[in-house]
Structure 1
Amino acid sequence: MSKLNKDVLFLIFEELKEDSKSLFSCLMVNRIWCETVIPILWKNPWCYNINYHNKNSLYFVITSYLSDDVRKSLIRKKILLPPILHQPILFDYLSFCRNFDIDILNAIISIGNSDLHNQSFLQQEIYNLFMRKCPELKYLNISSIKHQIFYFPEAKARLESLCELKCNTSIDSSYFYGLASICQNIQSLNIINKIMKVNHGRSL
């Protein structure tokens, strides 16, 4: 009966997936509700109406997955990282993620260090982390990407399931060539025009 109840709860919470306030409230009810809501919240953790620049909790959760060697390297660059946890986190949050939004992730990463050069190091490590931890990706926003993620070891397995891609006209064409060799199932392509040319018409 408890299994049935959890399945029913999941269907109900799925209907609330765009209502972050209600979902966050459901987390506090009991353990079953919490266990059911977490995968829904983390399926697309970038879609909620919150200020991601100030979401230290998200930054700490994501960076807690970094290996000790990577942490040591980043700390030497004066990048802020949370202390090492002596017990595992309650959920494998990144394993629920199916959406990868570079714009928002970069905003979260900026919490670690204000220096753009150091942010680039952290971006590379965290992008690679997502490629390893996310079982499959359905949505990818590369509008502000600076790293060729399709070269990461796990990229092919994660990106071949991609259904929706968001990008802009300022992105170097090499990114599209790289993704085209992997992503064969894209159904939706959202291109934002960043190169605005004013057409003054023809003079007579």
Structure 2
Amino acid sequence: MKLTKLTDDCYLEIIKNFEYDHHTLYNCLLVNRLFCHFTVSLLWANPFYNINKGSINVISIFLIYLDENERHQLTSSAYQVDLSCTHIFQKTLFNYADFLETYSSSKIQNITSLWYQYTQDISKPSLETSTFMAIQSMLFRRCKRIKKFYISLAEDSLTFPLIPSSWFYSSELRECEFRFVVSDSQNMIVYNYINLISIMNKRIQIIRIMAYNEDIPPEC
């Protein structure tokens, strides 16, 4: 009996069963070119699922995708971010940042902090926040396949207008979470963006709001 060849979609569904089994996924990388592509896209869909020392390489790789303006944020001050650790990643087989499907601002901030501890001279003034903002700008600009995003803000609602409108409208989006502490004058900015998602995206399954205020309107 002749075996029917599986379609590419079938192979992808098989590999997805090992989403959280990175040891098996690393083995899948070596099977063939097709398996490599599917496995890389799965590994980089949520590269910060487990935060550890090895995760600092993700930050180094993300930094190579900064455009001229984003890189200028890190190199225009008296103290510049040392980007020498990114040189070994300049020639990559894939544009790894483009595979991102889960964006978590708090996790990226945490791993950026860890990256600073291991790659930068901590005796000098820190540009940790500027590094995070540059990476955030790059991901907002490049990522087109976001399925989940978690935005954590503190006294700053200015990030909301920066979130790509394509993330709100995308048929891929399934879950989002907002954590914020904002002043009374800024509350409506936050509420408008949350309402925008609930109205414009009919396929979203979860909207989670964690607002550290006492004056949240009932309608919100």
Provide TM-score, normalisation by structure 2: 0.69
Separation in structure 2 between the aligned mates of residue 19 and residue 181 of structure 1, nearest angstrom: 37
Where does residue 63 of structure 2 map in the other structure?
A: 63
Q: CA 1:147–1:84 in structure 2 vs 1: closer, same or farther (change >3 Å)?
A: farther
Gaps of 5+ in 1: 196-204
Where does residue 187 of structure 1 map in the other structure?
A: 205
Match of 1:171 among 169, 173, 181: 181
Is 1:134 aligned with 2:152?
Answer: no
Where does residue 12 of structure 1 map in the other structure?
A: 14
Where does residue 216 of structure 2 map in the other structure?
A: none
Provide TM-score, normalisation by structure 1: 0.74
| 1:194 Cα deviation after fit | 6.7
* Greater Cα shift, 121-130 or 26-35: 26-35
Where does residue 149 of structure 1 map in the other structure?
A: 159
Separation in structure 1 between the aligned mates of residue 109 and residue 21 of structure 2, nearest angstrom: 24
Deviation digits for residues 151-173 of structure 1, max 9, x if unmatched?
23x711233334312234x5324
Where does residue 39 of structure 1 map in the other structure?
A: 41
The letter of the residue matching 2:169 is E
Deviation digits for residues 163-193 of structure 1, max 9, x if unmatched?
312234x532466325226423242133458
Deviation digits for residues 78-116 of structure 1, max 9, x if unmatched?
323244579642112122212111111112222145689
Alignment: residue pair count: 190
| 1:28 Cα deviation after fit | 3.4
The answer to whether the 8 A contact 2:71-2:134 is kept is no
Secondary structure of 1:43 counterpart: coil
Q: CA 1:163–1:6 in structure 2 vs 1: closer, same or farther (change >3 Å)?
A: closer
Q: CA 1:87–1:43 in structure 2 vs 1: closer, same or farther (change >3 Å)?
A: closer
* Greater Cα shift, 91-100 or 19-28: 19-28
The letter of the residue matching 2:208 is N
Deviation digits for residues 124-144 of structure 1, max 9, x if unmatched?
221111111111322111235
The letter of the residue matching 1:163 is R
Q: CA 1:160–1:61 in structure 2 vs 1: closer, same or farther (change >3 Å)?
A: same
The answer to whether the 8 A contact 2:44-2:99 is kept is yes
The answer to whether the 8 A contact 1:156-1:182 is kept is no
Is 1:104 aligned with 2:125?
Answer: no
Gaps of 5+ in 2: 214-220
The letter of the residue matching 1:64 is I
Secondary structure of 1:33 counterpart: helix
